[in-house]
Chains A and B, each alone.
Chain A
């Protein structure tokens, strides 16, 4: 009961914060549509994928992109909480760090999931898929959102300050996205990059979405599910160790020597 109440509080707070950061939310919603329009339209003029248009091919990737950016950026915002003391308050709660991370993952997943849902709602305009496919896509979106939240917390646990926040988008988010098979099939890239794509959890998010929407996947469904669940558990376990209050106080210098 205590744990559920704590998770409820964290999720409610994050949703309240998200609802008041309108430009960030609008930016998050607009980003995938801009990509769909510019990348989908631009490459669509020169590229033809097997069995359909490039825009249809790239659509599951753009849904995943909305989920990935929304979820990860919300989770990475934990670094702001650390900078301004709110994380210390959460870590001082009786629920413990595991519950705090579960709450943050869930709230990040909700924000990412809602942004992905806005893109997915446009699927009937681009894809000719039966209703059951959309239900499957909702499931894929939910798991991808949780995975993105967990990855975001892992990144946040290693960030020292909010100044690194912008760099994370260029150094972490874009490489994860570009090497995920969202924009082009990974099977066609050089072997070194293909190896990186295979250990990239986002590859399995995109692939799961392709399974759900009836497109040709690169991996098996079971592998996608296992990879996403396994990488999320690993990310949360590492984040839990790195978010240890002991490390945090020493890292920030606050508390020590005063």
Chain B
């Protein structure tokens, strides 16, 4: 089983991503992976998945604990950092799961993720937003409407998908996402009188978007702000938090992170269920050979549209859970780079694997997104780096034997280096490991795993090439 394979080397996932490894360590690693594989081969699929996901999460947590300690954060600060990490990882995992349904299962190369998120978020703003923005309906109605809007846009976008080559389709989806972004900023949706209410997105300025976060926070205190009176449930959790030295906002942030995780679990279960349904089998057949699936009389077009629409709805959901929690959102929060981040996370995890999607989300947020920023804080705390304005000053100082000005410039611009590093990781993955950490295209489509008897005897290589039925 490939999941088991990753069970052996998930820890080195990040490091492996950019190195590829030498022959020696790789051989030992493979032996160890074989051993783990034979043990995990007997496990249920979900158990093996859970182990891989949780061990990745644990490793990223350990890394962040070390970095927080290096930064000199107290217990509250550390917990807050971890809450932020967990929340972002969950948001990315949800997005990657949805994208995996498109690219990993249906073979639809969608690079308009940001557009589908944005449509959902702004629909939420119109339906549930307050005075001057929206109609002020309950948040659940807004979130359902948001998902429906994203699904509807997905249905429109999927129509050309049936006729186009994958790379043309990619350009179409990117174009749609950009059109949506320009539209949301335009005067056309800035302000309208609808049903006697003044609604609109106010042009290019960010608008206030209602968030599920507010409602989760209201479980803890009466009006959702940390300073207000705690509710009955809130009192219990705040007391537990105090034992560990956590302040109220930290406890509440963890509450929301866990709320988002609930949705990830739900999406994972849904998508795993789909993957093993007749519907999922047709999806895999389409991905492998669309002509053959068609020849067998499968309604390939319809199936592709359904899966695309479902994935778009999930992207909308993720967008609302993530971006809306900033309270004010502008159209420019949905630049194409967001889409590419999700794609990198998918490729890190490996397309075609639901567990891999979650692992990819966690690894991306931990190692590529938040990690470098933490490292920046640690370095600038412990070393006295000078502020350097331009790279020229850094390089000239370097030539005269001073290293620090250059280091100062690099640390000051670590976000640029981080994005560059994302690009490097993407290239190296495509060159060395196009299937990602957990990705694999060979998997059993049958509901019962036909290869299990041989796996049970622990013949690792046969299992690897035959593919476990983990997704």
Do chains A and B interact in one complex?
Answer: no
Please report B residues at the A interface, Cβ cutoff 8 Å.
none
Please report A residues at the B interface, Cβ cutoff 8 Å.
none
